Amino acid sequence: MGPRSQATKILESVKSSGRHYRDSLPMIASENIISPLVAEAVNSDLHGRYAEGLPGKRYYQGCGDFDTIESLAIESAKRVFNCNFTNIQSTSGTVSNMAALKALAKPGETITAVSTADGGHISHARMGAVGVRGLSLVTYPWDIDRMEPDIDASLKIIRETKPSLALFGQSVFLFPTPLKELSDAAHEVGAKVMYDGAHVLGLIAGGQFQDPLREGADVMTGSSHKTFPGPQGGFVLSDSSDEKFHRKLNNSIFPGTCSSYHLHHVAGKAVALAEFEEFGLDYAKDIVSNAKSLAYALASEGFDVLAEDRGYTASHQVLTRHGEIDSGAGRRAAETLEMSGIITNMNMLPGDTRAMNPSGLRLGVPELTRVGMTTDDMKDVARFFSRALIKEEDPAKIKSDVKEFKSNYQTVKYCFEPGSAYPGLE
């Protein structure tokens, strides 16, 4: 294949991927789509430009207009997240975590966090940012029934370990963390508290989950492309009024973990923040309502939905178990669902130890909500799951029916100028 053919093939695959998602039910909890105005900002001349530093304090010329963009975004983020400090330069949630770890803990020091087996993110683990920073990791005991850190046992761990940093938040995230009591214990032993809100940042900003910066977190990190519906990127946030601490956090981003920080994505975040100020409360409410409706509908169809005693979920996520622990049933379910027009991800659930052969699925509703689906539509979605995994109907027939169903939901909403959710495919 020659270079020209290779480029053609790549662009064909880009469009093919767009059609795949357009015609399917995208339900990966860490994904979302962007609005037309965010797309306009992202697809701009800012791509490839540099603006190292902060507004008004740049190492390059030509940054005047970008100073305006970033300054407006910083003030908008302070309003959206109700905090004194925001840095919107981070290129991802993981980079945000790396920066916060750099600011809050020195190599060789101990931190506490949720283990990956219990739903913690890989950046919280030795294999990820924690290991890159050279930190010693102690994980919290886990309450399987409540799907959260075991409060009493975790308090004991914090008081005995005396970590430099207590990290909370996770990737599998059904319910708010019991943060106030745990944060108090961490502060008692001189630890800083960090909350990774990557998955639930939009729910937090919309007042639908918990309020970590008022519950003891010294720093909150997060992604800008999950329940917060912007372009890929991250945030570092704090309600501290200590300007020395602000400088430390800013320096942990640049020059600490970012040089060029993707100005086009920062501009997209700026637009997304403005749209969230207008529409975010409704969007966050509708996400949680849809997740709850999906969970109950799946349970009614006969699926094993986790955390029944707590009402299944208080976030954008739903967890389902599809077979024995470490059986690979989750992987097989995800493959069958994709053949049926439903895009999900396999996920380890409590007890699983084999990441590539877990028993469960992690389902999310941010994208389905963004294109206008409601609680009644979640019942239809659950029926598609049942047809694929319980009744074992022909996947090709289900896929065709999913495509027809999805054709009614092709416009991105909760934004200033609703438009095509999957552009460039006409």
The reply to whether 189 and 77 lie within a common domain is: yes
Nearest to 114 by CA among 125, 106, 101, 104: 125
Greatest extent of the chain over all pairs of C-alpha atoms, in Å: 64
Alpha helices in 305-414 (DSSP H): 329-339, 366-370, 375-389, 395-406
pLDDT exceeds cutoff 70 at 198: yes
For the chain, the straight-line distance linking the first and the last C-alpha, in angstroms and rounded, comes to 27
**Alpha-carbon span 231 to 217, nearest angstrom:** 25
Confidence of residue 1 (pLDDT cuts 50, 70, 90): confident
**Alpha-carbon span 164 to 177, nearest angstrom:** 20
The reply to whether 190 and 95 lie within a common domain is: yes
Alpha helices in 189-328 (DSSP H): 201-205, 243-253, 263-300
Q: Is residue 4 part of a domain?
A: no
Confidence of residue 117 (pLDDT cuts 50, 70, 90): confident
**Which residue, of 275, 299, 334, is where some domain finishes?**
275
Tens digits of per-residue pLDDT, 226-239?
A: 999 999 999 999 99
Domain count, the chain: 2
Report whether the peptide linkage leading into residue 255 is cis, meaning its omega lies within 30 degrees of zero.
yes
For 124, the 3-state DSSP assignment is: helix
Interior/surface letters 358-384, b for 16+ CB within 10 angstroms, e for the rest: bbbbbbbbbbbbbbbbeeebbbebbbb
Amino acid at 166: A
The reply to whether 61 and 180 lie within a common domain is: yes
Nearest to 363 by CA among 278, 298, 282: 298
**402 is in which domain, residue-wise?**
279-419
Contact (CB, 8 A) for 316 and 365: yes
> Long-range contacts for 215-218 (Cβ within 8 Å, ≥24 apart)?
215/179, 215/180, 215/183, 216/179, 216/180, 216/182, 216/183, 216/184, 216/186, 216/187, 217/168, 217/179, 217/183, 217/193, 218/104, 218/192, 218/193, 218/194
Q: Is residue 18 part of a domain?
A: no
**Which residue, of 214, 241, 275, is where some domain finishes?**
275
* CATH number, domain containing residue 392: 3.90.1150.10
Confidence of residue 424 (pLDDT cuts 50, 70, 90): confident
The reply to whether 233 and 295 lie within a common domain is: no
**Which residue, of 244, 275, 306, is where some domain finishes?**
275
Tens digits of per-residue pLDDT, 257-313?
A: 999 899 999 999 999 999 999 999 999 999 999 999 999 999 999 999 999 999 999
Confidence of residue 126 (pLDDT cuts 50, 70, 90): confident
pLDDT exceeds cutoff 90 at 425: no
- Which residues make beta-bridge pairs with 320? 305, 361
> What's the whole-model pTM score?
0.97
pLDDT exceeds cutoff 70 at 426: no
Contact (CB, 8 A) for 241 and 248: no
Computed over every residue of the chain, the mean pLDDT equals 96
The reply to whether 151 and 251 lie within a common domain is: yes
**Alpha-carbon span 109 to 93, nearest angstrom:** 22
Q: Which residue has the tokens 């054709």?
A: 407
The reply to whether 265 and 291 lie within a common domain is: no
* CATH number, domain containing residue 70: 3.40.640.10
